[in-house]
């Protein structure tokens, strides 16, 4: 069983032109936390664009994808904080439909979080601007409730997104320490450059517990620069990935594995002093809808095989397969009548 923790968010997704990105000082391919300046963005999106409301939130996406592939329901449980409103009903429904066991905490005061997804360049780029709202209030008390503690202790695998570093590091540490003590597998994702830069201290306070670290090339590049593992004009991603496997680690029974996704370039897997490359499946331009959720889907596919005790190579291949399907859908939406064989 796997327990996942992240921010449950409803995505408000639209194809937009570059001018809208400029207006809100957003980069075409990025993920950030909304501040005061982004407040009008959500209304503007809904008023002037054709928007889609799609279940999102990075970690919940990953678990939905894993359950889509897993042979049994409820092998994964998801924890996050939502408001008591229609958005959280949608999120819960989509997660349950996929087979995820949902264990939300409910905030009394705040609405369910949302994420503006601004798609440009024919689906190649997506800018994410998250308004965490209720998701920001996930409490340590929630994981200390006896039934939730039991659930966490009964799992053998853990996946917490880097995004959750902005919310509650104590929760991450509690789960990570348990995993370390019991020699269970603890996984995280870099998720966004801003986390590597501005949540560096928090990230490094949990880093020693990470058995498997996921991220994309941009995030790992930022990590390399931030930690002086490489220079901008001399970026050897394989070297960087290997160096990160060697950074200090508490559970010495397992060597760290670092997995770098690179869009249409091969996935890099660094482990045990070696880097292996896995080519991705080519998707013709006309079939590409939007890359939102591709990274989450990759991790979902990976986890689905990992939980079934499959060899690493099968995990990576399934991750690539899942991502290939998700970029042909709006958001992280599971296609109908498609099943992993
Ligand atoms: C803390 N932040 C910024 C976030 C997110 C996030 N999920 C959790 N926390 N920013 C974007 N997302 C989600 O990432 C998915 C794509 O990978 C979006 O909701 C989107 O579904």
- The tokens 């957003």 sit on which residue? 26
Strands 185-189 and 157-161: parallel
User: Going by CA atoms, what residue is nearest to atom 1 of ligand 1?
Assistant: 163
Could you tell me how far CA 244 lies from the centroid of its own chain? 19
Question: For the residues 262-276, what does the mean pLDDT come to?
Answer: 97
Alpha helices in the chain (DSSP H): 18-23, 39-48, 58-69, 86-98, 140-144, 146-154, 169-181, 193-198, 200-207, 217-226, 237-245, 294-306, 312-326
Contact between residue 246 and residue 239 where contact means Cβ atoms under 8 Å apart? no
Please tell me if the CB atom of residue 165 comes closer than 6 angstroms to any atom of ligand 1. Answer: no
Q: Tell me which residue of 329, 295, 331, 336 sits closest to 56, measured CA to CA.
A: 331
CA distance 299 to 337: 21
Q: What integer pLDDT is reported at residue 53 of this predicted model? A: 93
User: How many residues comprise the chain?
Assistant: 341
Least confident of 136-145, 151-160, 282-291: 282-291
Q: What integer pLDDT is reported at residue 305 of this predicted model? A: 98
Q: Is 110 a catalytic residue?
A: no
CA of 5 to the centre of ligand 1 (A): 12
Q: What integer pLDDT is reported at residue 281 of this predicted model? A: 94
Instruction: For 145-171, write each residue's pLDDT tens digit.
Output: 999 999 999 999 999 999 999 999 999
Please tell me if the CB atom of residue 130 comes closer than 6 angstroms to any atom of ligand 1. Answer: yes
CA of 128 to the centre of ligand 1 (A): 7
Query: What are the percentages of helix, strand and coil residues in the chain, rounded to 5?
Result: 45, 25, 30
High-pLDDT (> 70) share of the chain, %: 100
Q: What does the mean pLDDT of the chain come to?
A: 97
CA distances (Å), origin 207, targets 104, 177, 212, 242: 26, 11, 10, 15
Please report, to the nearest 10 degrees, the dihedral formed by the alpha carbons of residues 237, 66, 287, 277 taken in order. Answer: 30
Please tell me if the CB atom of residue 212 comes closer than 6 angstroms to any atom of ligand 1. Answer: no
């Amino acid at each position: 069983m796997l327990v996942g923790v992240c921010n449950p968010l409803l995505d408000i997704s639209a194809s937009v032109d570059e001018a809208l990105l400029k207006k809100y000082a957003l980069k075409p391919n990025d993920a950030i936390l909304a501040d005061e300046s982004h407040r009008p963005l959500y209304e503007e999106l809904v008023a002037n664009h054709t928007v889609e409301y799609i279940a999102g939130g990075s970690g919940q996406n990953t678990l939905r994808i894993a359950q889509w592939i897993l042979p049994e329901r409820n092998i994964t449980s998801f924890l996050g904080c939502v408001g008591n409103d229609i958005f959280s009903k949608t999120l819960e429904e989509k997660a349950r439909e996929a087979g995820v066991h949902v264990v939300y905490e409910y905030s009394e005061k705040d609405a369910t979080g949302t994420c503006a997804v601004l798609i440009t360049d024919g689906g190649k780029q997506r800018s994410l601007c998250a308004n965490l709202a209720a998701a920001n209030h996930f409490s340590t008390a929630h994981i200390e409730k006896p039934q939730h503690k039991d659930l966490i202790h009964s799992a053998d695998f853990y996946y917490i997104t880097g995004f959750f570093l902005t919310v509650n590091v104590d929760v991450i540490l509690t789960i990570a320490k348990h995993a370390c003590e019991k020699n269970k597998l603890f996984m995280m994702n870099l998720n966004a450059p801003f986390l590597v830069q501005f949540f560096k201290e928090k990230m490094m306070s949990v880093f020693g517990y990470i058995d498997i670290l996921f991220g994309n090339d941009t995030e790992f590049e930022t990590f390399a620069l931030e930690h002086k593992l490489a220079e901008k004009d001399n970026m050897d991603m394989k070297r960087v990935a290997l160096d990160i496997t060697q950074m200090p680690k508490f559970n010495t029974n397992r060597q760290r594995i670092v997995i770098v996704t690179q869009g249409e370039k091969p996935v890099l897997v660094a482990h045990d002093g070696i880097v292996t490359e896995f080519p991705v499946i080519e998707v013709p331009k006309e079939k590409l809808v939007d890359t939102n959720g591709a990274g989450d889907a990759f991790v979902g596919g990976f986890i689905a095989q990992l939980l079934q005790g499959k060899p690493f190579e099968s995990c990576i291949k399934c991750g690539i397969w899942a991502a290939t399907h998700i970029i042909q859908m709006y958001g992280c939406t599971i296609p109908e009548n498609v099943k992993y064989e």
